[in-house]
């Protein structure tokens, strides 16, 4: 056989984004989704919607279901292709919660207490409204990752510590019980620009930001999007140049323009030479609306046929389970759990 025709196995990557808003925003799109879409051609990509993580803070049940579907629709509308990758909803794959329990029992209380996202969030919420689920959030995230044996986990810098924890847990398990897990690496997209709030351009665009007027949402109507861009705060002076320190507002608009048109920032600055802030905003509003309008339309089409969307997600969950159940069976056997003689359970013969 001519081995040169056999393609090298692709590395696996896995990532997820919480369904915690009624729409993803431009930061989620440019900071995460566009990378996911690019990676599905190069990698064996697995993307999922972590709804189990979402309930670490209170959620209205009907709203959670709707946000999970809207999030899935936005992934697909943005180019996540269910033929090329695996796309699923976390709660439909019970192995996540099952492995999380085992990992909970391998994680030190002090180790979990050092997770900075937990420290920040619990400080903000206060001890009484902080759940134990929020405390063990990073361990569930480790389970999400380790079940699929990915080489890489593409995430933002803020998630680095959680991926490091999953590496530690993988190594600990492998040492104590025998090799099961691939030790994953964080794939931090260094080149990925941070998008800032339109009203407060030194803070990142975030769905938990104070005012919605600083956000560009994928699901907003085009006229809302255009208005938000035209009302974005700008900076002192009149010159259009990229200067994050002196001109955070204009620099943010230039970054968005550059990323959506594929032109580098210097060329965009050149394009606006001698023109006013208002010109940049008017053109940018068109660029953003032209880019997001088809995504929004496609997402709405997908949502209009809920049965089909749910079917696609069920197919994804089946694909995910076929991988996750093999890892979990291996884990359960190594830990010393008796085999359960049902087709569905870990440890099946």
Active site residues: 121, 204, 207
Rule CB under 6 A: is residue 160 a binding residue for ligand ATP? Answer: no
Select the span of 9-17, 103-111, 215-223, 224-232 touching ligand LTN (CB under 6 A). Answer: 9-17
Q: How far is CA 212 from CA 20, 25, 343, in A?
A: 15, 10, 48
Asked if 90 interacts with ligand ATP (CB under 6 A), we say: no
Taking CB under 6 A as the criterion, which residues in 78-107 touch ligand LTN? none
Residues 129-158: x where in contact with ligand LTN by CB under 6 A, - otherwise, as a string: ------------x--xx-------x-x---
Nearest to 110 by CA among 56, 165, 51: 165
Residue nearest to ligand ATP (CB): 31
Task: Report in angstroms how near the CB of residue 329 gets to ligand LTN at its nearest.
Answer: 21
Q: How far apart are CA 107 and CA 274, in angstroms?
A: 59
Q: Which is nearer to ligand ATP, 16 or 98 (CB)?
A: 16
- Part in contact with ligand ATP (CB under 6 A); list of ranges 125-133, 204-212, 296-304, 327-335: 204-212
* Residue 216 interacting with ligand ATP (CB under 6 A): no
Residue 28 within binding range of ligand ATP, rule CB under 6 A: yes
Q: Which long-range contacts (CB under 8 A, 24 or more apart) does 290-293 make?
A: 291/260, 292/26, 292/216, 292/218, 292/222, 292/225, 293/222
CB burial of residue 83 (10 Å; 0-12, 13-18, 19+): exposed
Query: Which one among 208, 262, 307, 336 touches ligand ATP, defined by CB under 6 A?
Result: 208
Q: Can you read off the two tokens belonging to residue 108? A: 């030190």
Q: Which residues of 113-137 are buried (b: 16+ CB within 10 A; e: fewer)?
A: eebeebeebbeeeeeeebeeebbbb
15 is a contact residue toward ligand LTN (CB under 6 A): yes
Among 12, 13, 18, 87, binds ligand LTN (CB under 6 A): 18
> What sign has the CA pseudo-torsion 7, 9, 10, 15?
positive
Q: Is 286 helix (H, G, I), strand (E, B) or coil?
A: helix
Binding of residue 50 to ligand LTN (CB under 6 A): yes
16 binds ligand LTN (CB under 6 A): yes
For CA atoms 87, 77, 35, 140, the dihedral sign is negative
Among 38, 84, 185, 207, binds ligand ATP (CB under 6 A): 207
CB of 117 to ligand LTN, least distance (A): 8
Among 13, 14, 32, 292, binds ligand ATP (CB under 6 A): 32
The token duo for 271 is: 């394009």
What contacts 40, CB < 8 A, 6 or more positions away?
A: 80, 81, 84, 85
Q: Which residue number, 20 or 199, has a Cβ lying nearer to ligand LTN? A: 20
- The Cα–Cα gap between 55 and 68 comes to 12
> Between 20 and 234, whose beta carbon lies closer to ligand LTN?
20
Among 185, 194, 241, 271, binds ligand ATP (CB under 6 A): 194
> Of 12, 13, 14, 17, which lies in the binding site for ligand ATP, with binding defined by CB under 6 A?
17
Helix (H) or strand (E) holding 176: helix 160-177
Among 160, 172, 185, 204, binds ligand ATP (CB under 6 A): 204
Q: How far is CA 337 from its chain centroid?
A: 33
Contact footprint for ligand LTN (CB under 6 A): 14-18, 50, 53, 141, 144-145, 153, 155, 159
Contact footprint for ligand ATP (CB under 6 A): 17-18, 27-28, 31-32, 155-156, 194-195, 204-208
């Amino acid at each position: 056989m001519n081995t040169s025709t056999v393609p090298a196995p692709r590395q696996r990557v896995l990532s997820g984004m919480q369904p915690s808003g009624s729409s993803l925003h431009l930061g989620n799109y440019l900071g995460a989704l566009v990378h996911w879409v690019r990676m599905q051609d190069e990698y064996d990509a697995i993307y999922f919607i972590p709804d189990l993580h979402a309930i670490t803070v209170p959620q209205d049940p009907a709203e959670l279901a709707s946000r999970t579907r809207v999030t899935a629709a936005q992934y697909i509308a943005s180019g996540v292709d269910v033929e090329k990758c695996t796309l699923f909803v976390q709660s439909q794959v019970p192995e996540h919660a099952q492995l999380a329990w085992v990992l909970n029992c391998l994680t030190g209380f002090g180790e979990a207490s050092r997770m900075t996202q937990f420290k920040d969030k619990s400080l903000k919420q206060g001890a009484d409204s902080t759940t134990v689920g929020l405390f063990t959030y990073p361990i569930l995230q480790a389970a999400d990752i380790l079940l699929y044996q990915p080489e890489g986990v593409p995430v933002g810098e803020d998630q680095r510590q959680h991926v490091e924890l999953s590496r530690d847990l993988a190594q600990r398990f492998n040492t104590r019980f025998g090799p099961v897990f691939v030790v994953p690496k964080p794939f931090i997209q260094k080149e990925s620009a941070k998008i800032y709030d339109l009203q407060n351009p030194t803070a990142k665009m975030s769905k938990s930001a104070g005012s919605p007027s600083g956000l560009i949402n994928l699901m907003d109507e085009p006229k809302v999007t255009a208005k938000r861009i035209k009302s974005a705060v700008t900076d002192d002076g009149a010159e259009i140049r990229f200067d994050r320190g002196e001109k955070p507002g204009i620099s943010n608009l230039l970054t968005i323009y550059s990323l959506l048109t594929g032109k580098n920032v210097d060329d965009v600055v050149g394009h606006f030479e001698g023109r006013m802030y208002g010109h940049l905003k008017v053109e940018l509003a068109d660029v953003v609306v032209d880019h997001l309008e088809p995504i929004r339309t496609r997402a709405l089409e997908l949502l209009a046929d809920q049965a089909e969307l749910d079917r696609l997600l069920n197919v994804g969950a089946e694909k995910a389970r076929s991988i996750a159940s093999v890892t979990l069976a291996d884990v359960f056997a190594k830990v010393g759990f008796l085999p359960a003689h049902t087709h569905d359970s870990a440890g099946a013969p």
